[in-house]
Amino acid sequence: MAGVSLKCGDCGALLKSVEEAQEHAELTSHSNFAESTEAVLNLICTACGKPCRSKTESDLHTKRTGHTEFVDKTSESAKPISLEVPKAAVESDEQVDASTSSQSEEMIVPEVDKKLLEELELMGFSTARATRALHYSGNASVEAAVNWVVEHENDPDIDQMPLVPANTKVEAPKPTLTPEEVKLKAQELRERARKKKEEEEKKKEREREKERIRIGKELLEAKRIEEENERKRLLALRKAEKEEEQRAREKIRQKLEEDKAERRRRLGLPPEDPAAATPSAPVVQEKKSSLPVRPATKAEQMRECLRSLKQNHKEDDAKLKRAFQTLLTYIGNVAKNPNEEKFRKIRVTNPSFQERVGALKGGIEFLELCGFEKIEGGEFLFLARDKVDVAVLNSAGSELDSAIKNPFFGVL
């Protein structure tokens, strides 16, 4: 297949003709070119008609204008490349070679507008990039230089200082704007950069706020899960206590039955008939029901104390619930901080304590069941550090939680 372009072996750029290759060589000092069957792209923007020679140019055009639709007309413009240099070009090259051979030209940095160069440097551009942009944009304005940088930011020599022959006369660009307009334009660019920076800061602050909200939600969820697990643990502990109590009662009953059978055997009496013994059970139970039965475990005693407290003050439900909440706070503080004496010592004469707990019959008794003892003539309730029983405190907390949340607590 015939070659349709020239490819620079140094930077990979595709060129349509020998003339473009020569211009590329003069600008970049690249000299390694080869014929290629890859055609130079011809992408036409459907919105404004601008031709783009590569995908990079079309991407930059899209970024700058927002136009996204292009028509590929590469096949229409692709033609076999002619490697013959036009006669006029050959003559010109010969003249250049002759003049070069007679006198080597000195290359210097082109002169650019100092004020515009200073403006670009203040905007963050390097001196080489700002000088190149001003030189190739004709020293027209800061905006024109910035647009040139945007269009050529992917050039391999973008950060190299441009060089021109020393004898080249660079005509001073005709100012297209008055000094006042230049000042206003520079101020506008600075204001635009400031607003862009403020928008970025606001965006970062919104992201940080979202992150804080997310972390807060995660902490709340972790706390909820921890409380739920603690509640399940207390329920499992209460269930285990009830099962252990039931097993202990069963063992005592079996032991009593065995002792009774042993006594009958020693006395030479026949074994007791279970069928005959059953009718007497209700009678015995009925006789015992007339006497108060003291709860066997600490948890039952606490439950009975809270049930009595609720029965004695059932006319004021809000006051009763506040008392339960206060007791739960006292118990929770000691369970979480057993080494803190301030949580293990309560002034009985404190007006707040009296209003919430002390004035209610059964409030102080409940704290005493938890291990608190009256000291200093009954002025304080104190729980010694060596008498802190976490299991008892957990049982107390579980009973108080049930009294607060269960509407039928103390009714049945």
From first to last of the 412 residues of the chain, give the pLDDT tens digit: 456 777 888 887 877 777 888 887 887 878 787 887 777 788 888 888 888 887 888 888 888 888 888 888 877 777 777 665 555 454 555 555 555 544 556 788 888 888 888 888 888 888 888 898 888 888 888 888 888 888 888 888 888 888 888 765 544 444 455 667 767 877 887 788 889 889 999 999 999 999 999 999 999 999 999 999 999 999 999 999 999 999 999 999 999 999 888 887 887 777 766 655 444 444 444 444 444 545 568 888 888 888 888 888 877 888 888 998 999 999 999 999 999 888 999 988 899 888 888 888 888 888 988 989 988 888 899 999 888 888 889 888 888 888 888 777 765 5
Kindly list the distances between the CA atom of residue 294 and the CA atoms of 298, 342, 365, 369, in Å, as whole numbers in the listed order.
11, 33, 15, 14
Q: Where are the beta strands (DSSP E) in 138-259?
A: 164-165
What three-state secondary structure class fits 128?
A: helix
- Sheet with 14-15, side-by-side order of all strands: 14-15, 5-8, 33-36
Assigned superfamily of 107-176? Ubiquitin-associated (UBA) domain (1.10.8.10)
Query: Where does 298-405 sit in CATH, by number?
Result: 1.20.58.2190
Beta bridge mates, 5: 36
Give the closest residue to 93 by CA, choosing from 166, 163, 18: 18
pTM of the model as a whole:
0.32
Give the closest residue to 299 by CA, choosing from 391, 232, 408: 391
Is 111 within 8 Å of 172 (Cβ atoms)? no
Tokens of 249: 């009662």
